[in-house]
Each structure stands twice: as structure tokens, then as C-alpha cells.
């Protein structure tokens, strides 16, 4: 295959095992005879990950190292890697070998056959049952409410052509949801099933807070359903108000109105206050995202680069 290959790996807290990932990449490079460019984006790790990247760059001359000034998040780190990629074919994998480089030749074969994007579909996951249930539920909810058809059970692990990479980078969003953007740009795409491996070492850098942020980015960036929920809640509140008004009038003409009515008033106040707060929260989320876009800050601050 006479194509230049770029592999992008976001690096976070992986100083202890990054050399194992690089060894696996290099073994596959030799076996497949790739003209390889490896972009390692160190996302503000609290450990010495970038020092390890610097050391590995002296051992493997095809490494490009990028150190971000702080932790900007996985999606931003991957997007930064895309901006440094110069290959004809670009792959995105994790730093923990859950998406092993040995899978890539099968994915690149599909690009050779005319596809522009090949994404991985996770057949089995090694997380606990609760996490697996949460992931499965989220992907299906997002798919059902999204204005863009986002493939089920597909993560960031994928390969794409330079053309698709360039088109994705034209979407200058402050809170990018890359698998959604990948689906939005279109072109000829196909998914390949694979069994996702367990981490080789350490714990995932995805905390609950980060997972929730990615979920919100997916929902608010690719669906208008949250705004429609406000209308539904408003109509529901109006319907309940009408029913309650008719009930009150009926009781009035039957001389059943009690002077107290404390419980009823409290229930109605709590109900409508809840609807108002939920609605304001949803509107506030969209306003905050609009504000982020208008500020037009750079996605990242690059502290240092190698090669």
C-alpha cells in the first residue's frame, strides 16, 4: 500500500505503559510496511507522559509529539491531532491498546476498496455491567433523537481519508463531538465489528464528569429534542391547568370549595416551578454553547511540540 499513514493517539496518564503501545504500533508498521507518521497528543497529564513521549521520539523517528498546556479533554486532543496529520489515510486509536493497531490493516483495506471512513463497532466491552448498560442506552437514545444518523456502538476508533479529515476540520466547534461530526460530513462510510480489548494497564481517564460532558456534547450538538421538550412540558402544564380549573369551577358550583386549599396550592406551585427550572436549564445550556462559539477562543494552547 503506497499511502502515507498517520495514526493519532491522545495521551493521558499513560507514562507507565505508553512504550507498550508504541511497540505494538511499530510491530504492525514493520509487518504492513507502512510509511508511518505517529501523532501523540499529550493532554495535560498530571504524570510524566510527555517526558515519555520525548524519550520515545528519540527511539522512533516517525513520532510527532504535541503537548497541550492543560487538560482540554479527549475530543479536543483528538481534534488537535487531526490538525497535525499529513497522511493519506488517518487512524485514531487510544493509548491503552483497547483498539489494537493489529486491527488497522483490515480497516485500511476498506479504504482501498473505495470507502472514505471505516469506523469500529464495539461487539463486546470489558467494562462492568452498569457502564455497559449506560453506554448502550446512551448510543440508542442519541440515535433516536439525533438529526444526524450516528452509528450505534461506534467510538472514536476509526480510519479515514485525508479528504474527510480536512472536511471535519472545517467545522470549528468549541465542543466537538467527533463521532457525530464524522457522521455529519457524510461520504461513503462503513462499520466493522471488533471485540474491544481490556486496558493493558491503569485506569480510564474518562471520569463520570467527562463522560457526562461528552454525552451532553453529543445530544446538544446533534439534536433539537431538548428544546422541543420545553414545548411538551409547557403543553403538559397547560393541560393540567385547564383540568384543574374545570375541577375548581365544578367544586365552586357544588359549594365544595374549602377555605384552606394549602396542599393544592403547594403542589401546583412546585409542579410549575419545576417545569420552569427544567426549561430554563435547557435554554441556558444552548445559550452557554452559543456564547462559547461567539467568543471564538482557540481550541487548545500548544505548550510544546516535537518533530
Does residue 199 share a domain with residue 181? yes
Does residue 207 share a domain with residue 93? yes
- Cα–Cα distance measured from residue 153 to residue 58, given in angstroms and rounded to the nearest whole number: 37
Provide the mean pLDDT of the chain: 77
Does residue 117 share a domain with residue 14? yes
Domain that holds residue 229: 225-295
The pLDDT of residue 267: 63
The pLDDT of residue 253: 67
Does residue 169 share a domain with residue 120? yes
The pLDDT of residue 260: 57
Does residue 142 share a domain with residue 72? yes
Does residue 261 share a domain with residue 167? no
Q: Which three cell numbers stand for residue 264?
A: 393544592
Does residue 302 share a domain with residue 262? no
Does residue 236 share a domain with residue 164? no
Which parts of the chain sit beneath pLDDT 50? none
Counted domains in the chain? 2
Residue 29: partners with Cβ closer than 8 Å, 6 or more residues away: 36, 62
- Cα–Cα distance measured from residue 43 to residue 74, given in angstroms and rounded to the nearest whole number: 7
| pLDDT tens per residue across span 10-23 | 988 888 888 888 99
pTM: 0.68
Does residue 97 share a domain with residue 55? yes
Q: Is 284 exposed, middle or buried (0-12, 13-18, 19+ CB in 10 A)?
A: exposed
Does residue 264 share a domain with residue 186? no
The pLDDT of residue 184: 81
Does residue 43 share a domain with residue 12? yes
Does residue 229 share a domain with residue 199? no
Q: In which element (H, E) is residue 252 found?
A: helix 225-253
Contact (Cβ atoms closer than 8 angstroms) between residue 176 and residue 79 = yes
What CATH number does residue 22 fall under? 3.90.550.10
Residue whose C-alpha is closest to residue 64's, from 11, 113, 20: 11
Amino acid at each position: 500500500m503506497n499511502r502515507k499513514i498517520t495514526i493519532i493517539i491522545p495521551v493521558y496518564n499513560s507514562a507507565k505503559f505508553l512504550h507498550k503501545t508504541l511497540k505494538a504500533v511499530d510491530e504492525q508498521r514493520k509487518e504492513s510496511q507502512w510509511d508511518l507518521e505517529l501523532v501523540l497528543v499529550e493532554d495535560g497529564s498530571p504524570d510524566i507522559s510527555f517526558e515519555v513521549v520525548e524519550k520515545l521520539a528519540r527511539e522512533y523517528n516517525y513520532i510527532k509529539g504535541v503537548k497541550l498546556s492543560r487538560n482540554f479533554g479527549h475530543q479536543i486532543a483528538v481534534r488537535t491531532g487531526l490538525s497535525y496529520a499529513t497522511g493519506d489515510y488517518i487512524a485514531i486509536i487510544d493509548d491503552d491498546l483497547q483498539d489494537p493497531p493489529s486491527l488497522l490493516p483490515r480497516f485500511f483495506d476498506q479504504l482501498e476498496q473505495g470507502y472514505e471512513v471505516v469506523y469500529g463497532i464495539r461487539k463486546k466491552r470489558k467494562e462492568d455491567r452498569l457502564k455497559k448498560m449506560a453506554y448502550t442506552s446512551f448510543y440508542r437514545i442519541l440515535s433516536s433523537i439525533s438529526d444526524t444518523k450516528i452509528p450505534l456502538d461506534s467510538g472514536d476508533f476509526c480510519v479515514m481519508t485525508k479528504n474527510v479529515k480536512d472536511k471535519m476540520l472545517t467545522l470549528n466547534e468549541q465542543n466537538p463531538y467527533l463521532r457525530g461530526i464524522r457522521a455529519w460530513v457524510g461520504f461513503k462510510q462503513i462499520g466493522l465489528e471488533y471485540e474491544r480489548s481490556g486496558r493493558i494497564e491503569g485506569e480510564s481517564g474518562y471520569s463520570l464528569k467527562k463522560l457526562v460532558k461528552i454525552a451532553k456534547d453529543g445530544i446538544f450538538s446533534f439534536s433539537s429534542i431538548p428544546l422541543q421538550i420545553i414545548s411538551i412540558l409547557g403543553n403538559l402544564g397547560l393541560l393540567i391547568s385547564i383540568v384543574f380549573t374545570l375541577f375548581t369551577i365544578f367544586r365552586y358550583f357544588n359549594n365544595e370549595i374549602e377555605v384552606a386549599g394549602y396542599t393544592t396550592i403547594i403542589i401546583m406551585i412546585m409542579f410549575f416551578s419545576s417545569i420552569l427550572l427544567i426549561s430554563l436549564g435547557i435554554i441556558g445550556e444552548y445559550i452557554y454553547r452559543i456564547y462559547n462559539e461567539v467568543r471564538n477562543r482557540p481550541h487548545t494552547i500548544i505548550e510544546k511540540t516535537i518533530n
